[in-house]
Homo-oligomer: A and B are copies of this chain.
Amino acid sequence: MAKDYFSQWLGIKVLESGIGISKLSLVIRKEMLNGFGIAHGGITYCLADSALAFSCNSHGKKAVSVETSISHLVSLSEGDELIAEAKEEHCSNKIGTYSITVKRVSDNVLVALFKGTVYRTSKDW
Contact = CB atoms under 8 A, between A and B. Distances in A.
Given A94-B94, A119-B95, A35 B71 contact: no
Contact residues on A (Cβ < 8 Å of other chain), bracket: 35 or more
B5 A30 contact: yes
A4 interface: yes
A34 B54 CA distance: 11
Interface of A: 1-9, 30-37, 40-43, 45-46, 49-50, 53, 62, 64-75, 89-90, 92, 94-95, 97, 99, 110, 113, 115, 117, 119, 125
12 contacts: A2-B35, A3-B33, A3-B35, A7-B40, A9-B31, A35-B53, A40-B46, A42-B45, A45-B49, A66-B97, A68-B70, A73-B89
